[in-house]
Every structure is written in structure tokens, then in C-alpha cells.
Chains A and B, each alone.
Chain A
Amino acid sequence: MFETLMLSRIQFAANISFHILFPTITIALSWFLFFFKLRFDQTADPVWMRAYRFWVKIFAITFAIGVVSGITMSFQFGTNWPKFMETVGNIAGPLLGYEVLTAFFLEAGFLGIMLFGINRVSAKVHTLSTLIVAFGTTLSSFWILALNSWMQTPQGHEMRGGVAFPVDWLAIIFNPSFPYRLSHMLLASGLTAAFLIAGISAYRLLKGDDKRAPKLTLKIALSVAMVLTPLQIFVGDLHGLNTLKHQPQKIAAMEGIWHTEKSAPLLLFAIPDEKNKRNTFELAIPAMASFILTHDFNGEIKGLNEFEGNHPPVKPVFYAFRVMVGLGMLMLLLAWLARIQLWRKDKLPRWLLKILVMMSFSGWIGTLAGWYVTEIGRQPWLVTGVLTVKDAATTIAPGNVALSLSLYLLLYLVLMVAYLHTIFTMASRAIEIEEISETEQQPSLNQASINATLAQE
């Protein structure tokens, strides 16, 4: 059980799971911030600066954890997965390299100006810096998802002496699953940030914050969530169809289909039994899985029996998929319910605000569940058809990996507690700040209202 391979897998999963939580917020939050700043420049209404200033602090802390937990990743490839780079380094290397060169430096270079430079540069340059940081975070996801998608659906390379060599870079980057995965992830980020903003704004309102800023951010976040949830469900469906074409064994595990069948039912719930290759406690809608995946009630879906010894473990993929879809449906319902309520009554009842607070980090759960589906669903392969996870692992003594893993887990636990505590402390402190004063309200120069908001703290 606890040999080096297993420990390395747990360690990598822990590192990447922890890491992805933070970029998932910052990718979209940076675009929200750009929007706030742009509106401030256009209207000179200080409420936009209030919204910007509150959320840019949360952005800073989230971004910092994202950066430092990301550095870990660039070392892990070599320490725990030496054969990964030795086999596909010719492909993975340049994609990672472009991420560092084009995205990381861009983000980090303009972050200083975005966070601390508002009084040192013109309003235009500051807004532009915010835009560049947003663009950088998005560009970063472009490169890393290109690599991840290539590992799922590799093409554009040739194998020579057991090593992959690039043949066509465009084919490598725009591999079959890439457009779907990129859109799915960017939308997931949008939803994660939207529900975070909605949840923290709802928290402030619940605690008696009667200022304009949290009301405004709640409204914007819910509007965004209302548009993005149906879009995400649509893109997710397309992504599923793409997976059916290129990685049918993953779909079979997601749907819990053990034997190839026509009119496959959609399992709302079941307990997969890996040993006897069947499900128990099935709750199903007949023929629905066939309809969703083939757009035909009689459509044939390949079962796990077709991929003997070459398919992922069923349980984690099956359950994670249901968590993701269930949460997506809940988000859809909640976003529309709350936004319509806000439109009709101009405020939300307390119970709805409470639910939104509970949903603050729901995007995290959905994102992780989705990644577990796709990454565990890739097993036993690290790069489909090219390299298995087992062959890529390190030969370091298990004791060393166990030690590093324990340290990482302890660190992540402490950081998570500190992060959540700090965010809610910041929200509580924001409540005590005075509402924007009359003098501030006058459409004066931007600088005057910036200084006035500064003086408040």
C-alpha cells in the first residue's frame, strides 16, 4: 500500500489539488477587478473603488498562495516523476516554458503596480495593469491546459526509441480535448469567483453591512452566475461527447456502465461494485445516458468490459462525476432563484443569503470533483497510450516521500485555516467602515475619491 508509487501519487494529488483552488479563483476574479476598475474610471462613482479595494486584497492573498504552491509543481516533475520528463519532456517542456515566459512574468510583473501602484501611475496605466494581470492569468491556463489536454488526447508527435518527439506544434497545442477542457475550466473559474463574491457579499449583508458596495457586488456576481451556469452545463455536455469519442473508458466509468449496452440508463445514484462488475442500489432514468451521449435513446455505449485491464478505477470517477453535476445543478437553481428575487424585491431574504454564504466555496468542490473525474479517469495512463503512471514514478526511498508528504499536508492544513479565517476577518472588518460620504459622492477627480476612501481605513 504505502510504497513510493502510491505515496508519490498522493503527494502529487495533494499538491495539485491544493494549488488549483487558488488560480481557480484568481483567473476570473482578476476580470471582475478589471470590470470594477473600468467602471470606476468611467463613472467616478466611489462605490466601484470600494468594491475594487475590498476584492483586490482577497485577490492578493489568493494569488500569493497560488504562486508559492505552484512553484512546488515545477520541482515535483523531476523529484517524483522522473520518467515523465524523460519520455515526453520534448512536448511538455516547451508548453511549460511558454507558460512561464509569457504568463508568469506578465502576471507577476504587473501585479506590483496593480496592488501598490495606484498613487504612482495614472488611472489609465493602473487599469491597464489590472487588465494585463487578468490576461496573464488566463494565458497561463491556456498553456497548462494545452499540456494537460495533450496528456489526455496526445497527437502531433512521434515516438522514437521510447521518447516522444514533436512533429506539429499546432496539432499538439490544439489537440482534440483542448478547446473543451479550456472552456470548461475558464467557466469553472468564472463560477467559482462569482459564488465567492456572492457568498462573501451575502455574509457582509447578513452581518448588518448596509453599504452600497456589498449589495452591488452581490448583484453583479449573481448576474454572472446566472449567465455562466447554463453555459457551463452546455460546454460540459460537449466536453463529455468529446471524451466519449477519444476516451470511451472514462465515460464508461463516469456512467457506471459495466457491459456494452443499448439504451443505457442514466444513473442518478448507485454503488459500483468493482469486484463483481455491477452496480447495487441503482436509481436510474431509463435510456437517458444513451440519449445524452449519442442523442438517440437506442444509442450504444461501450461498457468497461471492452477495456479490460485498461480502464480507471470506477468508484472515484463515478462519485466525483455525480458531485460535480449535482453541484452544477444546485448552482444553476440558486443563481436564477436569487437573481430573480433580487430583480423583483431588490433584496434577498435571510435564508437565501445564508445559503449563498454556505455556497461561497462551492466552486472549489465542483472544480476538484471535475478534475478528479478527468484525471483519475485517465488512469492507468499518465499520457494516454504513451506512458503509464507506474512507469513514470521515482525510485526514491518511501520514507523520504512519506516525510515530505506529511510536511506538505500539515502545511496545507495550516494555510487553509489561515486563508479562510483571514477572508472572513477581512469581510467583518469591512462592515465597520463608514458608508461613502456626501463629499465623496460628488463626481470629482478620481484621485480625490481614492484618497477619501483611503482616509477611511
Chain B
Amino acid sequence: MFEINTLATIFAALMGVSILLYAILDGYDLGVGILLPLEQADNSDTMIASIGPFWDANETWLVLAIGLLLIAFPVAHSYVFEALYLPTAILLISLVLRGVAFDFRAKAAFSHKPTWNKVFKAGSLLAALSQGYMLGMYVMGFESSMTAYCFSMLSAFGVAAAYSYIGACWLIMKTEGALQIQAVNWAKKAGWICFFGVLLVSIVNPLINADVYAKWFTWPVTLYILPLPLLCFILFAVSYRVLQNLPKTEDRHCWLPFCLTVIIFTLCFIGLAFSFFPYIVPGKLTIWETASAPESLSFILWGAIVVIPVIASYTAFSYRVFWGKVQELRYH
């Protein structure tokens, strides 16, 4: 039905969308975890309640993204995760810790609750840091040099800041009162760090990768692609301006920072994807070289075409059910 190159492109796109959705969705709930104020028990409960019904489904996008890499580009999957063996192990352990802390904190004897809150915060932070580190190593082509390690460390903090940013914006949308005001402040600070992070990656990425430089600065492509980072930086400024005026009466525009952050995430992702396509391992393996057999990809593609709209519709349903300001979370 489809020829192999078309299939490889479709699967690369599907994987890209999953990664982006993961970064946005688990991004906000990891961010909420990073921001968790340990000394304020009430706010912690409300913040965790705001992500309670969603985090399971959010993490499923990671499983899908990694699954698609495994299914469609198995050689790249092996290459990437052998190169990132220890950061991957740390990421997984952090995700496990924070996932179980979410449930244990609600159910363990009360005296343990502060401990599980700490585990939840530490797990969220460590998960974000290791994802950022992995992203940094990926951009650097898994080089083992001092520059690569330093860049990856910066990238780790950048991603943690980005998740805090979107997490704070989520809280502005889902909470009210003092916590909402606190969230606005968090969003402003995290926004600044995030802005510098994106700026840094935008400068470093073309400087260290000759291929990336050639891609961005070839006339007339530059003309079409350069508005992308410009728009991104403008949105940072707009978002900051919006945050300065929040909260407004009747809670108008409380959803705006979150939507702007989603667009910023999307633009950053498109920028990275454009830099590396068609490489799946920068400078080494392309999607054409690593794609699985067309008969396997077709088999799964038909399923995906049917199932993904269904997933989208019941995810939307779930968000509608829990629409509005967060209420106390109770198990039933």
C-alpha cells in the first residue's frame, strides 16, 4: 500500500507528535511536582489534585513515543538508549518514585505524607533533569566531550525550567486565590529561565552542528524558517505581559498563559525537528536507514489511523469531565 520512505516519514511524524504531546502533557504535571511547596500542606494537596485524574494518561504518551521509536526505528532505539543508558535508568527510577508517591501520599498513614511529598517533588525534578540531559546529549550527537556534558547539564536545567513554566501556567488555569497568585509568580520566574534556555540552544545548536547551520542559513529557506524562533521569542514577551496583569476580575484570561506556553513548546519542537530531519540519530542514522519492514509498519499504521482519533476523543472527554477549577480529590 505505502512505500517504505512514505511509511518512515509518517512514523517519524507520529513519533514527533507523541514526543511533543508528552512534553506538553507530562510537562505540566512534572512541573507541578517540581513546584510543590513542601512547607504548605494545603497548597500541595490542591496542586496534586489538579493533576490527579490526568497523569497516568499523560505518561502513556511517553510509552507511545518510545514504543514508536522501538517499533518503527529499532536500530535507532538501541543506539539511543545504549548511549543514554544511565540517564535512562535515572529517568525511569524517578518516574517510578513520583508515580507511586502520588498514590502513597494519599493512602499511607498521615505521618508519612510529608515524606511522600518530598519523594514526589524530588522524583519530578529528577525526571525533568534527566530528560533535559538526554535531550542535550541527543542534540550533541551523543558525543563524549566536556562541551557535550556541560551543554547537556544546561539543557537539563532548561527543560526543568520549561516544565515548571508550563506547570505554573496549568496552576493559574486550575486554581484560585493565593495559590493562583503564587503560580503567576512562579510562571514569571520560570518563564525567564526558560527564555534564556531556548535562546542558548538556538545559538549553540547551529554553531556546533555544521549540518544544522547549513539547514537554517541557506537562502531562501532562512526566509521561511527564521520567523519561527522570532515568533517564539515574541510569545515569551506576550506571555510575560499577560502574566503581569493576572489574576484579573472574574478570572478572565486565566487560560491564556497555558495556551501560549503550549504554542511556545510546539514552536521549539518544530525548530528542533527541522534541525535534525531526516536524521533520527543526529549526524549518524537517518529514518530511511533504520525503518522497520513496510509490512510491519503498514499493519500498525491502519490500527493507528483508527485508534488515534478515538484516543483523542476520550482524552477530550476526560478533560471536559474535570473542567474548571480543581476540587478536592476523593477516591470513590
Contact = CB atoms under 8 A, between A and B. Distances in A.
Interface majority SS (helix, strand, loop, mixed), chain A: helix
A42 interface: no
Most buried by A among B81, B103, B332: B332
A234 interface: no
Interface residues of A, number: 73
A71 interface: yes
Interface of B is mostly: helix
B289 interface: no
Contacts of A75: 66, 81, 88, 92
Contacts of B315: 105, 109
Given A67-B99, A96-B67, 4 more contacts: A71-B92, A78-B77, A108-B59, A113-B321
Interface of A: 52-53, 56-57, 60-61, 63-65, 67-72, 74-75, 77-79, 82, 85-86, 89-91, 93-94, 96-98, 100-102, 104-113, 115-121, 163, 165-166, 169, 394-396, 400, 403-404, 407-408, 411, 415, 418-419, 421-422, 425-426, 450, 454
Given A82-B82, A90-B295, A97-B300, A68 B332 contact: no
Contacts of A419: 100
Contacts of A163: 293
A400 B54 CA distance: 34
B303 A85 contact: no
Contact of B63 (A74, A86, A98): A74
A113 B318 contact: yes
15 contacts: A53-B331, A68-B59, A75-B81, A79-B88, A86-B75, A89-B74, A93-B70, A96-B67, A111-B57, A112-B52, A112-B321, A117-B53, A120-B321, A408-B93, A418-B100
Given A90-B295, A94-B300, A97-B67, A102 B307 contact: yes
B10 interface: no
Contacts of B270: none
Interface stretch (B30-38, B104-112, B143-151, B197-205): B104-112
Contact of B99 (A56, A64, A422): A64
A396 B53 contact: no
B184 interface: no
Given A68-B100, A118-B332, A120-B322, A57 B57 contact: no
B157 interface: no
Given A79-B82, A116-B52, A61 B303 contact: no
B332 A115 contact: yes
Contact of A109 (B68, B75, B311): B311
A407 B100 contact: no
A404 B64 contact: no
A404 B61 CA distance: 24
Given A57-B331, A98-B300, A116-B331, A421 B108 contact: yes
Interface residues of B, number: 61
Query: Nearest 9 pairs between A and B by C-beta?
Result: A112-B53, A93-B71, A82-B78, A68-B99, A85-B74, A89-B74, A118-B332, A108-B57, A404-B89
B24 interface: no
Given A100-B63, A396-B82, A422 B108 contact: yes
A425 B78 CA distance: 43
Contacts, number: 219
A363 B107 CA distance: 23
A67 B64 contact: no
B329 interface: yes
A53 B68 CA distance: 37
B332 A169 contact: no
A97 B71 contact: yes
Contacts of A404: 85-86, 89
A422 B107 contact: yes
Interface in B108-138: 108-109
Given A53-B332, A116-B322, A116-B332, A110 B314 contact: yes
B53 A116 contact: yes
A71 B59 contact: yes
A108 B53 CA distance: 9
A65 B107 CA distance: 14
Contact of A112 (B56, B303, B330): B56
Interface core residue of A104, A109, A163 (most chain B CB under 10 Å): A109
B219 interface: no
Contacts of B56: 63-64, 67, 107-108, 111-112
A121 B331 contact: no
Contacts of B293: 90, 163, 165-166
Contacts of B318: 109-110, 112-113
Contacts of B74: 78, 85-86, 89, 93
Contacts of B304: 97, 101
Given A112-B322, A117-B321, A411-B97, A72 B92 contact: yes
A53 B331 CA distance: 7
B282 to A, nearest CB: 17
Nearest to A82: B78
Contacts of B99: 64-65, 67-68
Nearest to A61: B103
A421 B107 CA distance: 10
A100 B300 contact: no
B22 to A, nearest CB: 11
A408 B90 CA distance: 10
A418 B53 CA distance: 22
Contacts of A67: 56, 59, 99
A403 B86 CA distance: 8
